[in-house]
Every structure is written in structure tokens, then in C-alpha cells.
Amino acid sequence: MSVLVMKFGGTSVATLDRIKRAAKRVGREVANGHDVIVIVSAMSGKTNELVGWVGETSPLFDAREYDAVVSSGENVTAGLMALTLQEMDIPARSWQGWQVPLKTNGAHGAARIEEIPTDNLNAKFGQGMRVAVVAGFQGISPEGRITTLGRGGSDTTAVAFAAAFDAVRCDIYTDVDGVYTTDPRITSKARKLDRIAFEEMLELASLGAKVLQTRSVELAMRYKVKLRVLSSFDEYDETAGTLVCEEDEVMENNVVAGVAYSRDEAKMTLISVADRPGIAAAIFGPLAEAGVNVDMIVQNISEEGRTDMTFSCPVDQVKRAEQAMAQAKERGEIAYHDLVADTEVAKVSVVGIGMRSHAGVAARMFKSLRDENVNIKVITTSEIKISVLIDRKYMELAVQALHDTFELEKAG
């Protein structure tokens, strides 16, 4: 029998009424002939509460006990969902990560999935179980301890189960009804996409579109798992949501699929560093060790053996970057005249697989920003993405202008 994976996020299971609503959707898929693996998050707000309790109890906490406490939110939801399904006369059973078992490495708080053996669940399906309700976000380490997968862990859990069980599809139920051409809160012209390619979704997720977590999209692309993003609050419709799939399954042919943005960026410039082999490693090695997430990098033209090096990072990592550079300077690894931080910038990007075969996208983007008198500070490009750093106060204007320029309100 075919397996379908359904994942319900925290807002979708926030109350008993919402759990019942989600359970009805599961029941509909069982009636359609699927064996269903349901991945559940903790009820909305519960994980933050548990994290807060750990912090109050032990500021310098043991990561193993942190995982034991924080993973409990999903266990509650899984049990309640299984009970709700049983009340609907659907054979269901809850499973914690260790019972499957979902095997991870030992990196507590940010564990990586290593293997999901299918024997236990398949045996129960063979004995008449129709729904396995699995606690998301958690697994078991090689030492036999409970682990958690970090932010977005339930999405990642769902995709991993879909890959392991060769599921027909992985449905991610959330509080939005799909993937949009841009944030509908910024422009009312934003349009829901029926389909989007894995690569486009991966870029949008990494650029701050919070519909799906980056790790889950990476996993889906690697194992060719069809993902569908849809709202648990809308009425049932077989064509609802957005399907994330392979490039050749995308019907629309817009050059640009979407406009993404990241509001909280900072631009940092090391002024007058030596222009010599190894200088980039001397700069970005210490930044990586300090946990600074460097994104865009630009090296200016060299003059008399000196150059300026500019990079962007999240604004909340500026202090960490400044400290890492100061320590590297003290150790004599690098020499620079000054480090200038601009914490009032934002990143705006256009993304689309159509860029591979269409020239002039960058020119249209830059002309659109020029026409709105928006100054570009840094530019980076990839095969399917162009990103610019601009003053944060112009971010919404830039997003709206680019959405209009590429006529994203129209289906391709």
C-alpha cells in the first residue's frame, strides 16, 4: 500500500480542536487508501516554554538533558493525535523518535539524521495499523540518548521519513496556504505558485522565506521527495498549496519565480588589508570559527598592495565578527586600518531557474532599482539568483518594484 507523509506544524496542532481538524485530514487520506505517517510538532508556544524552563533551571545546561526536556512537547502532541484518530475508529499509534528508531549523530540540540530503519513501522502497518503518529524534531544518538534536530527539525523529520518509506508525497501543513512570489504583506500583488522547483525553493528558503526550512528542502532535492506546502486552516482541495518538485515538472515558465528579502543584514568592510595570497583565508577562517555566517563577499581593486574586503552577515553577529577580527589582528594574522560596520542594510534577491537560459535579468533588476533611486551597495550572483545589499529603509520599495518589473503577479 502507498505511504503518504503528513506533517503538522505547531499552529496546526495548537489546541485540541485544531488537532481534531488535522486528524480529519489524516482520516481522509486513509480513506483514499494510503498508509499515513504523521509527523507532529509541539503545540504552538510549547517548545519556547520548555526552552525557557531549561534556561531558568540551569543557565549552563547539559545539552543531553536539554534535549530530554525540549523533545517532550512533540511527545504530547503525538499521543493526543493518536488518541484523536482512535476515537475516529482509525487504527493509529504514536511513536517517539527512539521507538522508530530515528538514528542521529550525537550533536545534541542540532543532531543530523543518519538512518531511519523501516522495519518497525512496516511490521505494524502489516498488522493493520493505518497511521503512525511520529514525534518530530527528535531522534536517538549512538549512545542511546534522546537528541533534537534543531530549528525546522520537524520539517526535516517529515522529508526524511518520506525518503525512507518511498512515500508518494510529503505534505507540510502550516499556517500559510503555499509559496508566494514574494511576501504578501509587502505587496498585495504577490501570487501563490502552483509549483516551484527544488532549487528555487532552496534559494528562497536560504534567503529568509520561512515557509520551509533549508535543511528539509536540501533533503527533498537529494532524494527527489515531492513536497506540498499547504494550509491546515483552508477547506480541503486536492489542488491546494504549492508543490515543490523537479525542474522538469514545473509548468510555469516565468524567468523569475520570486523576490526574497532578508531585513536584518549588516555590511562590514575591512579597510586596507594586505593584498596577498592567503589573506581571504586569514580573514574568513577566524570568522567561521567564531560562528559568523558570512554571506556576500566583495574584494575591491588593489592599490599599492592594499585592498578593502567587504562582506555581509546577520546584524546580530556584528559584535562577534568585530571581536574575531580584533583577535586575529592581535595575533598578527591580519593587519587592517579599520573595520567599518553598516547595520542599516537589507538584502533583496530575485530567484528563478529561467535565468539560466535568459539574458538581461540583471540589467532589468538594476534598472528597476535605479528608477526608484535605490542605491546598490553590494551585488552577488549565482546561476539562478541575483542578490543586492541596499539601505534597509528602501527594502519594501525595492521588493515591490522588482515584483512589478518581472510581472510576477501573472502566471507564466
Known binding residue 338? Answer is no
β-pairing, 242-245 with 227-231? antiparallel
Helices (H), 143-302: 153-164, 198-206, 214-223, 279-289
Known binding residue 291? Answer is no
Known binding residue 47? Answer is yes
The grid coordinates of residue 119 equal: 522495519
Query: How far apart are alpha carbons 6 and 22 in whole angstroms?
Result: 10
Backbone dihedral angles phi then psi of residue 114, each to the nearest 5 degrees: -110, -35
Place of cell 538581461: 360
Known binding residue 15? Answer is no
Known binding residue 126? Answer is no
Q: Count of CB atoms within 10 A of residue 144's CB?
A: 8
Known binding residue 174? Answer is yes
Known binding residue 180? Answer is yes
Known binding residue 46? Answer is no
Query: How far apart are alpha carbons 236 and 241 in whole angstroms?
Result: 10
Query: How far apart are alpha carbons 270 and 254 in whole angstroms?
Result: 39
Q: Which helix (H) or strand (E) holds 362?
A: helix 361-371
Query: How far apart are alpha carbons 199 and 208 in whole angstroms?
Result: 15
Q: Which residues, 6 or more positions from 46, have their beta carbon under 8 angstroms from its beta carbon?
A: 10, 73, 76
Place of cell 522547483: 197
Known binding residue 8? Answer is yes
The grid coordinates of residue 191 equal: 501570487
The grid coordinates of residue 407 equal: 510581472
Known binding residue 175? Answer is yes
Binding residues for substrate: 47, 74
Binding residues for ATP: 7-10, 174-175, 180, 185, 210-211
Binding residues: 7-10, 47, 74, 174-175, 180, 185, 210-211
